[in-house]
Amino acid sequence: MHENKVPGDRNAPPERKAKPTLKTIAKLSGLAVPTVSRALNDAPDIGSETKKLIRKIADEIGYVPNRAGVRLRTGRTNVISLVMSTEHDNHTARLISSVAGGLQGTRFHLNVTPYAPADDIMKPIRYIVETESADAIILNQIEPEDPRIAYLMERGFPFATHGRSNWSDQHPYYDFDNETYGRHAIDLLHARGRKNVAVVAPPLRQSYALHLVAGLQARAKANGQTLFILDQVNSDNPSEDIIAATTEHLTGHPETDAFVTASTTAALAVLAGVEGRGLTVGQQIDLFAKEAVPFLKMVRADILTMAESVGSAGDFLAKAAIQAIKEPDLPPMQYLEVPVATISDG
């Protein structure tokens, strides 16, 4: 038995509002439905001001295109998938945010596809390509001969990478020059009189770790410094493992007077290990790190830091992925961020 609802009864269910459609936008803008559709699809024959107007109205009324319909009409999903490990740090959060920002004002939407460190790294890539669930993929944690890149290049599937592979001349990328970072770090430590430098590097299978170590080794050799690469841990390991490795290294090599890391989380773990040995950063020992967000000096003012513009990386990669989708015959967008020697040393 259905109850009759009295008009104005607060217990009555709310009326369902009609879902905004292309016709809704056309009526509000005074433009024809085909024009609205082409504007939302970034057609080159539609003026930029018209596109801005249409997108503004679409955002205001909460218009969401029907994905199935878009795919049937265009063969595209209007989705770009950012495939990332579930291991998180401030670089990860910043990259997701900046890629999303780079897609604002376009017809593309961001989908984050996570995978666990123990997973087959090819599994999410194959799934996206085989199901055609995205128009392009953005990758990070790049390896020199990355099987994901080889797979995507072989199939002609649009993608962009945060980092360089051995085939980077053939695909879009944004990378931070970690070799130059390593050179700057070791030279500054040398200028501060540091002679025995320990390094918690990223996983050495990844390109940026190899670049970092190459820069450190080249300048340490030139400066006559001793370099210790901690081989039992990397910057992706749990903090407690890095703390233990730091403690063990300082026990066996008490002459160590500096540490270099490639991430904020690794730097904090090293800091804990150093202070656990009764040492003070900036006095008996130095700690050098790069970071995407200025944070470390709020913890210890004497930590030496260098900025990495992960925000710029995400914005660039979003645009590079879109170009790879829409204009695959153009040269791939590529950028190498070279750090300058303006290091924050307190």
The domain limits of the chain are 22-64, 75-176+310-337, 178-307
Mean pLDDT for 249-264 is 96
Q: Give residue 22's pLDDT.
A: 84
pLDDT-wise least confident of 53-57, 287-291, 335-339? 53-57
Q: Give residue 85's pLDDT.
A: 85
Q: Which residue has the tokens 């540091």?
A: 194
Q: Give residue 212's pLDDT.
A: 97
Mean pLDDT for 249-274 is 96
| Half-sphere CA count of 38, side-chain side, radius 13 A | 12
- CB neighbour list of residue 65: distance below 8 Å, 6 or more residues apart: 40, 78, 107
DSSP string, 290-331: EESSS-HHHH-TT-EEEE--HHHHHHHHHHHHHHHHH-TTSP
Q: What letter would DSSP give residue 6?
A: P
Are 247 and 233 in contact by the 8 Å Cβ rule? The answer is no
Q: Give residue 74's pLDDT.
A: 55
Higher pLDDT, 14 or 335: 335
Pairwise CA distance, residues 327 & 172, whole Å: 12
Q: Give residue 71's pLDDT.
A: 55
Q: Does residue 5 carry a pLDDT above 80?
A: no
Q: Taking all residues of the chain, what is their mean pLDDT, rounded to a whole number?
A: 89
Q: Does residue 6 carry a pLDDT above 50?
A: no
Q: Which CATH superfamily is domain 75-176+310-337 in?
A: Response regulator (3.40.50.2300)
Q: What is the pLDDT of residues 203-224, one digit of tens each?
A: 999 999 999 999 999 999 999 9
Q: What is the pLDDT of residues 21-51, one digit of tens each?
A: 888 888 898 998 888 888 887 788 888 889 8
Pairwise CA distance, residues 216 & 315, whole Å: 29
Q: Do the domains spanning 75-176+310-337 and 178-307 agree at the CATH topology level? A: yes
Q: Give residue 2's pLDDT.
A: 46
The token pair that represents 223 in the structure block: 């400066």
Q: Does residue 3 carry a pLDDT above 50?
A: no
Report which of 176, 201, 174 is spatially closest to residue 186, judged by C-alpha positions.
201
Q: What does pTM read for this prediction?
A: 0.78
Are 144 and 164 in contact by the 8 Å Cβ rule? The answer is no
- Determine phi and psi for 278, rounding to 5 degrees: 80, 15
Can you say how many angstroms the Cα of residue 317 is from the centroid of all Cα atoms in its chain?
9
Q: Give residue 69's pLDDT.
A: 55
Q: Which CATH superfamily is domain 178-307 in?
A: Response regulator (3.40.50.2300)
Which amino acid, 212?
Answer: L
Q: What is the pLDDT of residues 95-143, one digit of tens each?
A: 899 999 999 888 899 999 998 888 899 999 999 999 999 999 999 999 9
Pairwise CA distance, residues 289 & 306, whole Å: 6
